[in-house]
Amino acid sequence: MSEVAYLPVGKREQTKVQNRQAILDAAREVFGELGYDGATVRDIIRRTGLAAGTFYNYYRSKEEVFAALADDGARRFNPILKALRGRGGPLEDFVREAIVAYFEFMADEHETWMGRRPAGEPQPHVHGETPEMAAVFAEVKDAIENAIAEGRGPASDAEYMAAAAIAVAREVGDKMLMRRPIDTAAAADFAIAMILHGLKGVPEAHG
């Protein structure tokens, strides 16, 4: 009788949350394996064991679940990044810590992303560019540009710098995930060194 009204968590609500999560997880896997275009809504729901129509109770389209994935990733990684940026230290510190955080995040998530492209296919598709990573990259790029603008980093071509730093992180991270055991420390060391030394050697802005 006194069914304490804490939260609306009946079995139904639970199932709903679980299903939503199941679809999100399946979508993550499928997009990772097949790329955005290669993936089909059917691929996603098939992996959940749910019925075809059920997908549409949660997301209105393939595009929407993709967007949700990006939100999800950003929601989880951005706080870390925000904290790092809040400190306002030199760019060097930010890069160092961001890379470490990013690689660890990647490794954490990684089993979901492991279904790599079946090597027969042409080549294109997503790269490391999962929706979640896209959100992360946007944030990093912004941070780097801010740091440069505030004089906390070398005054070179901000866009090129951000692009180069991100590119290194992404590619090295990608490679890292393909090795066993996954050694985030080594990969981070490499990427940090590459980026910091590289950026230091970059020519002055030509503006």
Partner DNA sequence: AATGAATGAGAGTTCATTCAT
Partner DNA sequence: TATGAATGAACTCTCATTCAT
Residues found near a copy of itself in the complex (CB under 8 A): 31, 35-38, 63, 66-67, 70, 121-127, 129-131, 134, 156-157, 159-160, 163-164, 166-168, 170-172, 174-175, 186-187, 189-191, 193-203, 206
Query: Residues 35, 41, 89, 92: which binds DNA (CB under 7 A)?
Result: 41
**Of 37, 32, 172, which Cα lies nearest the Cα of 111?**
32
Which of the choices DNA, a copy of itself, none does residue 167 contact, using the CB cut-off of 5 to 8 A by kind? Answer: a copy of itself
Does position 28 interact with DNA (CB under 7 A)? The reply is no
Does the protein bind DNA through residue 35 (CB under 7 A)?
A: no
Closest distance of CB 72 from DNA, Å:
19
Q: Please report whether residue 57 would count as binding DNA according to CB under 7 A.
A: yes
Q: How far is the CB of 179 from DNA (least distance, A)?
A: 32
Pick 53 or 122: Cβ nearer DNA: 53
The minimum distance between CB 77 and a copy of itself, in angstroms, equals 16
206 near DNA (CB under 7 A): no
- DSSP secondary structure string, the chain? -----S----HHHHHHHHHHHHHHHHHHHHHHHHHHHH--HHHHHHHHT--GGGHHHH-SSHHHHHHHHHHHHHHHHHHHHHHHHHT---HHHHHHHHHHHHHHHHHHHHHHH-----TTS-S-S-TT--HHHHHHHHHHHHHHHHHHHTTSS--S-HHHHHHHHHHHHHHHHHHHHTSSS--HHHHHHHHHHHHHHHHHHSPPP--
Per CB under 7 A, 61 contacts DNA: yes
Which residues contact DNA by CB under 7 A?
A: 10-12, 15-16, 19, 39-43, 50-58, 60-63
